[in-house]
């Protein structure tokens, strides 16, 4: 790490979680969309005729051979006339066979998409199961969580320390499933993970049973999630874990908060994980009840930075405040909390409860969650501190490409979904100009879209409706355009003239300014508007909380 060039350190400091490096890589590639991208990213007829209900992932993880073998029993409901069924599993993992009622089904392969044909009629409104047998040595994650797959490491005592991380690349990198975000298993996932008997697996939800197999010197840990879960949230973490926990009195009663850390890190974790209940307190205030009381909340130590794995948020921030000890905002506020605990837990509301229906709308995950960091700061250190923090995040904005990605192609947009997206939300808060209303909107999103997969339009429309202000041009400007809007103005003959430049057609965001120290709203449009002034040469300043630029076109 000490040999890392300064520029890399700077870039790393400006990154938040999983998607930044990955997104940057995507834009180096040819923007054309491949056949596999379409199979992977679109709602094909082979996907839409059935509704995913449940997975039972039953696997053995062998640290010696670095392999995973087992089955995924998938329950689904038939919605319309049966077609072939599409699922994904990425090489080098192999789909060995697919069974239904004891009969092996015919399977054809197209890239890493598989198409299953049925022997028996699939009747509309009925539920069925298939059992997918699979195995192999899954892709090793080179740089998790950005370069996903399985991480095989050892702890300080030489014991295996293993974890999955697959945001972006997708859960099909290690197990077969319906690998598209629009459809989540309505009644959750049961995970049965067999590991060497001296190790423990920690997965999502609650531990319901541990079975010992003395003849094989293994144990199987059964973890159950009862709520819908996004595919990339399903995870395994295997190591020499110790547990501690607490109960948190939250908005929906007592929440079980459990922590699993490597044996040697227990003391450090007991001090550092105090930020977990602080997160819960701040984010329940702003976003409403934690969305998974039934499945509990966990922090689980992982051999990489961290990830928003639902109800088992993984942690690898080195028991330091900030982002690996650094302040991404450069304001000092970023060192008041453990970035990974707050950011990845914030995703329980935006990513896990409210999930994008298409990867192109991933701003719904990252913009709100990055924004949640400033809400955490505001809750504990005051409104000015929160605003300073989110403005500090502007250092990382690229304005390189649109925040909204390519639909139907498993293609996310610019990494600006983090820093610029959070500043868009902070700017919208200024426009709403009513803190109580703003909090109601944030909490209303959590309630209205609870446990749903959504499109950007639903979120945008909801925010416009609830605020009573048409925010559509603001969303267009910041999500569908790279330009930072510019307030052009000049003062002449005791008159201010102003308009929006560098903006989308019809951009009409009201903006707050100070003229001679007096706060005033300007209803700016893309054509000139006049305002009579009391003095000939007043001072003029734009409210810093708007992420815009301003230009006196005649100069000072
Ligand atoms: Zn994130």
Q: Using the mean position of ligand 1's atoms as its centre, give its distance from the Cα of residue 364 in Å.
A: 10
Cα-only R_g, the chain: 25
CA distances from 308 to 36, 311, 398 (A): 26, 8, 24
Q: Using the mean position of ligand 1's atoms as its centre, give its distance from the Cα of residue 507 in Å.
A: 29
The whole-angstrom separation of Cα 332 and Cα 349 is: 26
Supply the pLDDT for residue 3: 31
pTM: 0.94
| Beta strand 94-100 pairing with 127-136 | antiparallel
Supply the pLDDT for residue 82: 85
Burial class (CB in 10 A: 0-12, 13-18, 19+), 6: exposed
Tokens encoding 29:
């590639």
CA distances from 131 to 128, 349, 451 (A): 10, 32, 26
Taking Cα atoms as reference points, which of 348, 357, 333 lies closest to residue 296? 348
Q: Using the mean position of ligand 1's atoms as its centre, give its distance from the Cα of residue 350 in Å.
A: 9
Q: Using the mean position of ligand 1's atoms as its centre, give its distance from the Cα of residue 417 in Å.
A: 10
Q: Using the mean position of ligand 1's atoms as its centre, give its distance from the Cα of residue 351 in Å.
A: 8
Supply the pLDDT for residue 6: 33
The whole-angstrom separation of Cα 142 and Cα 55 is: 28
Q: Where are the beta strands (DSSP E) in 101-148?
A: 103-104, 106-110, 113-117, 127-136
Q: Using the mean position of ligand 1's atoms as its centre, give its distance from the Cα of residue 20 in Å.
A: 9
Q: What is the DSSP string of 470-530?
A: --HHHHHHHHS--PPPEEEEEEETTEEEEEEESS-TT----EEEEETTEEEEE---SS-EE
The whole-angstrom separation of Cα 316 and Cα 487 is: 43
C-beta separation of 515 from 496 below 8 A: yes
C-beta separation of 59 from 156 below 8 A: no
Q: Using the mean position of ligand 1's atoms as its centre, give its distance from the Cα of residue 197 in Å.
A: 34
Q: Using the mean position of ligand 1's atoms as its centre, give its distance from the Cα of residue 217 in Å.
A: 38
- Phi then psi for 464, rounded to 5 degrees? -65, -45
Tokens encoding 368:
């709100």
The whole-angstrom separation of Cα 341 and Cα 56 is: 28
Q: Using the mean position of ligand 1's atoms as its centre, give its distance from the Cα of residue 493 in Å.
A: 50
The whole-angstrom separation of Cα 17 and Cα 143 is: 12
Exposure string for 379-414, b = 16+ CB within 10 A, e = fewer: beeeeebbbbbbbbbeebbeeebbbbbbbbbbbbbb
The whole-angstrom separation of Cα 76 and Cα 187 is: 11
Tokens encoding 273:
């994980």
The whole-angstrom separation of Cα 236 and Cα 50 is: 27
Burial class (CB in 10 A: 0-12, 13-18, 19+), 294: middle
Q: Using the mean position of ligand 1's atoms as its centre, give its distance from the Cα of residue 343 in Å.
A: 6
C-beta separation of 412 from 359 below 8 A: yes
Per-residue confidence of the chain (556 residues) as pLDDT tens digits?
A: 233 333 333 333 333 343 333 434 444 445 689 999 999 999 999 999 999 999 999 999 999 999 999 999 999 999 999 889 999 999 999 999 999 999 999 999 999 999 999 989 999 999 999 999 999 999 999 889 988 999 999 999 999 999 999 999 999 999 999 999 999 999 999 999 999 999 999 999 999 999 999 999 999 999 999 999 999 999 999 999 999 999 999 999 999 999 999 999 999 999 999 999 999 999 999 999 999 999 999 999 999 999 999 999 999 999 999 999 999 999 999 999 999 999 999 999 999 999 999 999 999 999 999 999 999 999 999 999 999 999 999 999 999 999 999 999 999 999 999 999 999 999 999 999 999 999 999 999 999 999 999 999 999 999 999 999 999 999 999 999 999 999 999 999 999 999 999 999 999 999 999 999 999 999 999 999 999 999 999 999 999 999 999 999 998 6
The whole-angstrom separation of Cα 234 and Cα 357 is: 17
């Amino acid at each position: 790490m000490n040999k890392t060039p300064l520029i890399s350190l700077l870039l790393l400091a400006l990154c938040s979680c999983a998607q930044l490096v990955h997104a940057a890589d995507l834009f180096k590639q040819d923007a054309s969309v491949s056949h596999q991208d379409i199979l992977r990213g679109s709602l094909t007829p082979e996907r839409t005729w059935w509704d995913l209900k449940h997975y039972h992932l039953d696997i053995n993880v062998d640290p010696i051979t670095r392999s995973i073998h087992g089955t995924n029993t998938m329950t689904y409901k038939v919605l319309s006339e049966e077609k072939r069924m599409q699922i994904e599993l990425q090489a080098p993992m192999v789909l060995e066979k697919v069974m239904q009622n004891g009969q092996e089904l015919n399977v054809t392969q197209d890239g890493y998409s598989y198409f299953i044909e049925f022997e028996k009629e699939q009747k509309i409104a009925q539920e069925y199961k298939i059992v997918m047998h699979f195995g192999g040595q899954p892709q090793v994650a080179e740089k998790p969580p950005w370069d996903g797959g399985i991480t095989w490491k050892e702890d300080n005592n030489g014991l295996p320390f293993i974890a999955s991380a697959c945001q972006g690349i997708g859960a099909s990198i290690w197990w077969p499933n319906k690998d598209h975000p629009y459809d989540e298993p309505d009644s959750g996932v049961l995970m049965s993970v067999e590991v060497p008997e001296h190790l423990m697996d920690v997965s999502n939800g609650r531990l319901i049973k541990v079975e010992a197999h003395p003849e094989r010197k293994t144990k199987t840990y059964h973890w159950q999630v009862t709520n819908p879960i996004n595919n990339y949230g399903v995870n395994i973490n295997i190591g020499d874990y110790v547990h501690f926990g607490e109960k948190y009195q939250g908005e929906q009663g007592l929440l079980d908060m459990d922590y699993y850390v490597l044996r040697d890190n227990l003391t450090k974790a007991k001090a550092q994980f105090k930020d977990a209940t602080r997160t819960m307190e701040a984010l329940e205030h702003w976003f409403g009840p934690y969305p998974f009381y039934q499945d509990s909340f966990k922090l689980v130590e992982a051999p990489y930075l961290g990830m928003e794995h639902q109800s088992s948020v993984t942690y690898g921030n080195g028991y330091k405040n900030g982002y690996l000890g650094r302040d991404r905002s450069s304001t000092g506020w970023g060192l008041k909390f453990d970035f990974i605990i707050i950011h990845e837990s914030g995703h329980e509301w935006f990513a896990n409860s409210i999930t994008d229906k298409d990867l192109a709308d991933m701003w719904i995950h990252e913009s709100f969650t990055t924004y949640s960091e400033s809400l955490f700061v505001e809750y504990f250190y005051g409104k000015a501190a929160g605003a300073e923090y989110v403005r500090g995040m502007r250092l990382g904005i690229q304005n390189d490409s649109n925040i909204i990605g390519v639909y139907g192609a498993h293609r996310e947009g610019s990494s600006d979904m983090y820093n610029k997206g959070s500043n868009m939300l902070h700017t919208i808060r200024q426009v709403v100009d009513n803190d109580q209303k703003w909090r109601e909107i944030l909490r209303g999103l959590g309630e209205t879209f609870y446990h749903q997969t959504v499109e950007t339009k639903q979120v945008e429309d909801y925010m416009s409706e609830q605020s009573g202000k048409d925010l559509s041009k603001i969303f267009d400007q910041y999500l569908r355009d790279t330009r930072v809007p510019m307030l052009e103005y000049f003062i002449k003959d005791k008159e201010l003239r102003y308009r929006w430049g560098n903006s989308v057609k019809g951009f009409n965001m009201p903006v707050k300014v100070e003229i001679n120290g007096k706060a005033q709203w300007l209803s700016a449009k893309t054509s000139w508007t006049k305002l009579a002034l009391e003095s000939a040469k007043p001072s003029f300043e734009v409210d810093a909380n708007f992420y815009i630029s301003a230009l006196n076109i005649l100069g000072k």
